[in-house]
Amino acid sequence: MKDNSETKSRQASVDEKSIDQPAAEGKRVKTAPDAKAKKAAEKAKKKAERQERREARRHRRAWAFFKLTLTKYFVRKFRYSYDSLKEVEGPYLLLANHNMELDPALVGIAAGKQIYFVASEHIMRKGLGTWFLRTFFRPIIHTKGKTGTKSVMAIIKALKKGYNVCLFAEGNRSFNGVTGDILPSTGKLARAAGASLVTFRIEGGYLTQPRFSTSYRKGKTYGHLVHVYKPDELKKMSDDEMNEAINRDLHEDAYKTQETERTAYKGKNLTLGIESTLFWCPACKKFETLKSTPDEVRCSACGFTASFDEYGYLNCSDGVTRNMRDWDREQKEFLIGQFRDGTFGGFTDQVTVRIIGADHKAGEVMNGELRATTEGVTFAGKHYKRGYISGLAVYSRNNINTLFGPEEVQYDLRGDLGFNALKYYYLYQETKETES
């Protein structure tokens, strides 16, 4: 009996404790997953950091290898002389003008330490080339025509980690030999980055590889270290003052340089494809009548001809010697004049169209007519009003990257060798200025 009563007493005690336990046990059940999740997050963070360190080592080794093996080749091929950046203390944001596809190589040769480059999104569709660039150089990707918030944050993040970053401030290669205006947000980025700013101007690049050209010409190129702005100096400047300084530092006029240098840029097929930049005949004032051969460009309407010589000038059948800078300025002014007074008749081209997905992959190819009027753009069987175009940029020689609507659906448009994307870009620029 005694044993039985003691057993009952102990059981009652246990039952009483069990009644008091649920809250405490519940608390333990609730906190255990949080602690486990925190531990897992810390483990994932450390793994990511190790992965980043491994990638950084691979990038440094690749940079050192290619710089060692390719510097002499590029210096010889492009007769390249440059100011060394080895003594410039990093991290820094380097801004350069843009004329050649190989401008990153010229910047890299001048640089001391490794640099991460900001690159156009289209390089993500280069197959094996994309794998190579991502594996060994990890470019910071920017979609042309977009505001670039993600790429800006990536630039700042890289600088804060102590890496150097190069951005071609115009966001596009020059069509006419003159450095274009930088993006308005560049000055703000330079000041917000918290790092030094280096301005580096490349001369001779445009005539080495004119935008319309399908090959390189043999001449001279120069890489000039213009200025190093320290963080304290940047803090004292406004965004507008910074933009003005950058535009001044990077400005290059190939034809102004030629007036004194008079350098020959020799090659084959010097005139071939020039109608991908020139879309207007200065003799009869008509659009879309120019067609090139390796030796000359001819207007089908009036018979006017011009040939691009090794000094970058156009020797014309009307006895006038022209250059790309002035011809382009005149054709743009004539086009915008017609657009504003309502006499513009429209442009028409045959193109291939692909929708670009969020993963940078291109969808099914569609062939059709591209037409632009004062009302908007028509292609792939669809018409888009002027205000519906949210972004348009030209990349490579003459391809168009364009965005439509608030969803910014991305299209890639391509034509043949002589397809002129520049005229559509000028119309887009005028449309945006009219609407703003």
Phi first, then psi, for residue 71 (nearest 5°) are -55, -50
Domain chopping of the chain, boundaries: 53-261, 274-337, 346-435
Look at residue 15 and tell me whether its pLDDT is greater than 60: no
Phi first, then psi, for residue 346 (nearest 5°) are 105, 160
What's residue 233's pLDDT?
Answer: 94
Look at residue 9 and tell me whether its pLDDT is greater than 50: no
Which residue is listed with tokens 């299209």? Answer: 411
Q: Are 421 and 276 in contact (CB under 8 A)?
A: yes
The alpha carbon of 221 is separated from its chain's Cα centroid by a whole number of angstroms, namely 22
Strongest mean pLDDT among 7-11, 353-357, 419-423, 432-436? 419-423
Q: Tell me the two tokens of residue 326.
A: 């002035």
**pLDDT tens, position by position, 357-392:** 877 888 888 998 999 998 888 887 788 887 788 888
Give the lowest-confidence range in 29-38, 52-61, 62-71, 277-286: 29-38
Q: Are 87 and 112 in contact (CB under 8 A)?
A: yes
Which residue is listed with tokens 């397809």? Answer: 419
Q: Provide Rg for the chain, Cα atoms.
A: 29
Q: Are 220 and 79 in contact (CB under 8 A)?
A: yes
Q: Where are the beta strands (DSSP E) in 204-272?
A: 221-229
What whole-number distance in Å separates Cα of residue 372 and Cα of residue 384?
A: 10
Which residue is listed with tokens 């002014």? Answer: 333
What whole-number distance in Å separates Cα of residue 154 and Cα of residue 139?
A: 10
**pLDDT tens, position by position, 133-148:** 888 888 898 876 666 6
The CATH code belonging to domain 346-435 is 2.30.29.30
Phi first, then psi, for residue 324 (nearest 5°) are -65, -35
The H or E element spanning position 425 is helix 422-435
Residue 31 corresponds to which amino acid? T
Calculate mean pLDDT across residues 274-283.
98
The CATH code belonging to domain 53-261 is 3.40.1130.10
C-alpha closest to that of 339 among 293, 306, 375: 375
pTM: 0.85
Q: Are 205 and 103 in contact (CB under 8 A)?
A: yes
What's residue 288's pLDDT?
Answer: 96
**pLDDT tens, position by position, 288-318:** 999 999 999 999 999 999 999 999 999 999 9
